[in-house]
Amino acid sequence: QVQLVESGGGLVQAGGSLRLSCAASGITFRLNTMGWYRQAPGKQRELVARIISDGSTNYPDSVKGRFTISRDNAKNAVYLQMNSLKPEDTAVYYCAARLGVVSTKSFGMDYWGKGTLVTVSS
């Protein structure tokens, strides 16, 4: 079974930092594209960061320069370092994995974690 388990969410003050972790099992982690997505109340799920197997990354403009995704293939883990947090960053953050070159599933990702809540106070 493939499992993705997020951790590290919580309540932080605006301007603060938080580091999310995602532990993966049941996959050949080093071969997978990994991503962080978030969904805020009343909003659609959106991409936060993506990292492919060679380590290259992608960020939307909304978080570029503030968030950093990284992976540790030896630990089967992916991380999201969030700095300069804003109240609008408040959302449930999800870890996702794509097992191959392309996926036909939602957002092009094959598996999802259950999410971790990040709340940024103003």
The pLDDT score that the predictor gives to residue 3 is 95
* pLDDT tens track for 74-116: 999 999 999 999 999 999 999 999 988 888 898 999 999 999 9
The residue type found at 101 is V
pLDDT in the model for residue 113: 97
Q: What are the C-alpha distances in Å from 82 to residues 23, 77, 93, 120?
A: 17, 16, 11, 11
The β-bridge relationship of strands 18-25 and 33-39 is unpaired
Within a 10 A sphere around the Cβ of 60, how many other Cβ atoms? Answer: 12
Taking residue 94's Cβ as centre, other Cβ atoms within 10 Å add up to: 23
Cα dist. 68→15, 47, 50, 71, 80 in Å? 15, 13, 9, 10, 6
pLDDT for position 5: 97
pLDDT tens for each residue of 24-73: 998 888 888 999 999 999 999 999 999 998 899 999 999 999 999 999 99
